[in-house]
Structure 1
Amino acid sequence: MSTPENDQADGPRMRRGRRLAVDVGDARIGVASCDPDGILATPVETVPGRDVPAAHRRLRQLVAEYEPIEVVVGLPRSLKGGEGPAAAKVRRFTQELAKGIAPVPVRLVDERMTTVTASQGLRASGVKSKKGRSVIDQAAAVIILQQALESERVSGRPPGEGVEVVI
């Protein structure tokens, strides 16, 4: 007989623990978090991004505060899946972040269309464009995290690709 407990035991397992998601932009960095069960992603804050060392400091503080099991960072890809200069920039940023928060693992996940989706959602909910700029990156981080959580829920594997810390 199939019960919810049996179904869960036989299907993919999701790791328990809070995660943080980061949407890296040139001017701003959106941050989101989820509950320990990985059910709901919520916005945390927008970190100014132009001063990269200060941004890394703030992200390290957030990691210390939230104690996530991992940090997922959105990797911008083209619609065809390729990587351009923006992806290279995010990879460099992520490598430094991974060094600064080790041993907390960092994973890169595909963020195609997250900012567009976040913009549409904010507009649909009546958020004005001026106010929207301050929260768009947080909303994109929420979408990145929700997609990562769903990926793990379905596959039973951590989402995206792990970032190896190079010293």
Structure 2
Amino acid sequence: MPEALASQLPLDLTVRGRRMGVDVGTVRVGVALTDPDAILATPLTTLDRDLKKHFDVKIAAKLVREHSVVEVAVGLPLSMAGEHTASTEAAVDWAERLARRLAAQEPPVPVRLVDERWTSVQSHRQLLEAGVSRREHRDKVDQQAAVTILESALQTARRAMERAEPADGRGTDKNTDTKADESALSANSEGDLT
């Protein structure tokens, strides 16, 4: 596996810049993009899959450069039991091809794999709620799935950051945290528990 393909690691939100989300299908590839602060994910485009010459991967790499993307999140379509399928292998192959291209550029751009088991269902639901007719879903669902993959990756990264750093910004020190917890239970000057 290429070094630039960071299998299922969370996005690194300490680096400012756009993130790209990718939904790899058998026929089309949906692409979404965040703003530079990685707050909002929006649909960007849909690419036609090219299983012979891989022009879709080349175009995706070009989009990364054009939009100054700092990380890419590619959906990993596992089965509901969490097992690999033919779709999983196709998405990993696509992600590896993109990772090789992006590792060769300066600076290299990492590609992350993101569990996407529920994205298709969520994407169809969101399109229906937005008033998009079922007839128009085919053209929009790939981009919406890429948005959902990207939003999921951003949420996972934010949760990982919150666990790593307390709300007050201090570094985590188990001894300090334990002492703070013990002092909260200590008696105040009147002998009452605080």
TM-score (normalizing by structure 2): 0.71
Displacement of 1:31 after TM fit? 0.3
1:91 aligns with 92
List gaps (5 residues or longer) in structure 2: 1-11, 163-194
**Structure 1 ranges of 4+ moved more than 3 A:** none
Displacement of 1:134 after TM fit? 0.7
Q: Secondary structure at the match of 1:89?
A: helix
Task: Determine which structure has more spread, i.e. the larger CA radius of gyration.
Answer: 2
CA distances 1:121-155 after superposition (whole Å, capped 9, x unpaired):
11122211222111101000001001111111111
- Looking at structure 2, the residues matched to 22 and 151 of structure 1 have their Cα atoms a distance apart, in angstroms, of 16
- Looking at structure 2, the residues matched to 104 and 42 of structure 1 have their Cα atoms a distance apart, in angstroms, of 20
2:26 aligns with 26
List gaps (5 residues or longer) in structure 1: 1-12, 158-167
Q: Do structure 1's residue 143 and structure 2's residue 142 form an aligned pair?
A: no
Q: Secondary structure at the match of 1:152?
A: helix
- Looking at structure 1, the residues matched to 135 and 46 of structure 2 have their Cα atoms a distance apart, in angstroms, of 15
- Looking at structure 1, the residues matched to 64 and 149 of structure 2 have their Cα atoms a distance apart, in angstroms, of 17
Alignment check: 8 A CA contact 1:26 1:50 kept: no
Number of aligned positions between the proteins: 145
Q: Which amino acid aligns with 1:75?
A: L
TM-score (normalizing by structure 1): 0.82
Identity of aligned residues (%): 42
Q: Do structure 1's residue 120 and structure 2's residue 125 form an aligned pair?
A: yes
Displacement of 1:19 after TM fit? 0.5
Q: Which amino acid aligns with 1:90?
A: A
Alignment check: 8 A CA contact 1:118 1:140 kept: yes
Q: Secondary structure at the match of 1:108?
A: strand
Taking only aligned residues, the RMSD between alpha carbons, in angstroms, comes to 1.6
